Structure 1
Amino acid sequence: MFKPGPACLLLAMITLGGCVTAQTSDISVASGVQSTVLLKSSSSWDGMSYDAYPAGIPELTVLNIKIPANTALNWHEHPMPNAAYVVSGHLKVETRESGQSILLKPGDVLPEMVNRQHRGVTGNTAVELVVFYAGTAGMPLSSSQPVKE
């Protein structure tokens, strides 16, 4: 029996419902299909508005990312809008410039920052994310700098 993984479920949710915060919409009463919008945002989690999408042929990428416990990711930035869905664990996301942070738990969806350095830090448990990137063909998903702490 086929059991869809987190990336497949996220793609289905995005395809069926677009991407806002816990709204349910009935797609078709006859079919019984319902979708829940998990995120709809024109700004990153810290309130910074997104600019226009990158120019070029669109390329969507969805990653399943597993981060071990007690890990600080490198400071990095993304050149395109993206959103992360927390499958399991707790992740602290912080900005390099201001030190502002947010704590994510399973089921949370985060509109990530564009062209601004940030990182994720795990606690005593591993974290699993599904991250959806809306870029252009050949565009790198992120650029990073080693941790210097």
Structure 2
Amino acid sequence: MTVKKICIIIIFSCITFHVFSQEKDTKIEVTKLAESTKSWNGDQLPAYPKGKPQITILKIVIPPHKKLDLHKHLVINAGVLLKGVLTVVDDKGDVLELKAGDSIVELVNTYHYGENKGDEPAEIIVFYAGVVGTPITVKK
């Protein structure tokens, strides 16, 4: 085999490898972030309420070193922390520490609060599965 043929084979192999390696970058990826019948503290999730379904999606930004008021959710909800850190504490003293990328299956009908103990804003997207006319959050 001549050097020219070997070079052509090597170049063709490199191009083929490059094309196929780029295809991997364009694959659609699906990552399950959470799946549970229980909230983060182990409490069983309640049945969905009867009524006309209403989905609410909130982006909540908690400034550094700020604490949310004590509150509870009347509907099932879950979220993903996009940025920062967040500490969630329930009324029994259970604690959940979240960092960016972590998911949470939130508490329902249990008082709790979130606190950003970090030095940057904590950003979380929360999805609420409720019914029309039922508040998603109630402060204590």
Fold match, TM over 0.5? yes
Gaps of at least 5 residues in structure 2 are: 1-26
Partners of 1:33 and 1:103 lie apart in 2 by: 30
- Identify the structure with the greater helix proportion: 2
Higher RCO structure (Cα 8 Å, ≥6 apart): 2
The alignment yields a C-alpha RMSD, in angstroms, of: 1.4
Shift of 1:141: 1.0
Hey, what does 2:7 align to over in structure 1?
none
Shift of 1:138: 2.3
Hey, what does 2:70 align to over in structure 1?
75
Shift of 1:51: 1.6
Provide, for residues 43-93 of structure 1, a one-character-per-residue CA deviation record: whole Å limited to 9, x for no partner: 000111112011111111100110111111000000111001100010000
Q: 2:104 aligns with which of 110, 114, 130?
A: 110
Shift of 1:33: 3.5
TM norm structure 2: 0.77
Q: Which amino acid aligns with 2:105?
A: P
Structure of greater Rg: 2
Q: Which amino acid aligns with 2:109?
A: N
Provide, for residues 119-143 of structure 1, a one-character-per-residue CA deviation record: whole Å limited to 9, x for no partner: 0011132100000000011221100
Q: Which runs of 4+ in 1 moved over 3 A?
A: none
Partners of 2:95 and 2:104 lie apart in 1 by: 12
SS state at 2:29 partner: strand
Partners of 2:55 and 2:38 lie apart in 1 by: 19
Find out whether 1:126 has 2:121 as its counterpart: yes
Shift of 1:105: 0.2
TM norm structure 1: 0.73
Overall identity of the aligned pairs, in %: 37
1:1-149 correspondence to structure 2 within 5 Å: 32-96=27-91, 98-123=92-117, 124-145=119-140
Provide, for residues 20-58 of structure 1, a one-character-per-residue CA deviation record: whole Å limited to 9, x for no partner: xxxxxxxxxxxx533211111110001111120111111
SS state at 1:34 partner: coil
Residues paired across the two proteins, number: 114
